[in-house]
A and B are shown apart, each in its own frame.
Chain A
């Protein structure tokens, strides 16, 4: 599928990986819908795309809401007449171990709150499901060529302190196999699905974390630095153009290894 002339919708498009993806696709000639929770981020990105000579519409929405999802899919089609690429970058973290112990008594002093579990599952899993489902519905009914891109994470393998995030991201990584299998079963041939599982990426989510912890993480990255959001955007562009890529999850980590040198 050609990027030029296609229409892309990116949730979480107001910053981080999402911002890099919308700008990369717009630069390559796609018309883009910037979906985000934060209006000022949307305004900034739409303004940047206009300065690049691109075409963009900004839509403030919450990906966990079914009504909002329907609204941004419809808004994108209202603005550009079709939808070809849907990338679900919207994501949050609420880290914490499932149990914390009191150092003196050895008894449980704290449990991971349901609020921290639910918020991450709602945004990173349910939000991705709703976007993929409704974007696919539009692509099927419109008869347009399409690519669905759930954003997973290398922490789908199971990261301590992230039972909520890892659970959501491993589920996101499974989506391409299930979705494309169902498409085959139903005779839907115009839509592909490829998930992307980034490693540690230079986004506001990571640069805000404890810098000593970040330094320790980088010691396990063969590349020796964080992955740039633009490198992930470039991979997604490649996925758009290469139609043989389908029903799979691609990791882009810079060579993230476990401490003893085993690739994660």
Chain B
């Protein structure tokens, strides 16, 4: 029974008569059926190749976003923090313009 890891998802290809079923693990650890009765007559190796092509098509690659928190209210009391305007001519980059910036980190 070939199994493959794609986009952090564990898929397995299981025989069902002369066909193949594709199942995958849910985040809960339970197993779900992605497809049933595919690729009639194919060998295990060929079915695995076709499975990889199929799961790459139907399961879009996810992106794990680790920040910033766009739902953060950006408020301190009544003040709304709008962030620095880096396009302003007086904006100073600490690491480029300040003498207090260490030359090596």
Contacts and interface: CB of A to CB of B under 8 A. Distances in A.
Interface of A: 31, 39, 43, 46-47, 49-50, 53-59, 71-72, 74-75, 78-80
A49 B36 CA distance: 8
Interface string B24-54: 0000000011111110000000000010011
Interface of B: 16, 19, 21, 32-38, 50, 53-54, 57-58, 60
Contacts of B54: 57, 75, 78-79
Given A78-B54, A78-B57, A57 B34 contact: yes
Query: What secondary structure prevails in chain B residues at the interface with A?
Result: strand
Given A50-B36, A53-B37, 13 more contacts: A47-B33, A47-B36, A55-B36, A55-B37, A56-B35, A56-B36, A57-B58, A58-B33, A59-B58, A71-B58, A72-B58, A75-B54, A75-B58
A1 to B, nearest CB: 21
A242 B52 CA distance: 37
A56 B37 contact: yes
A79 B33 CA distance: 14
A57 B38 contact: yes
A55 B19 contact: yes
Contacts of B37: 31, 49-50, 53-56
A38 to B, nearest CB: 12
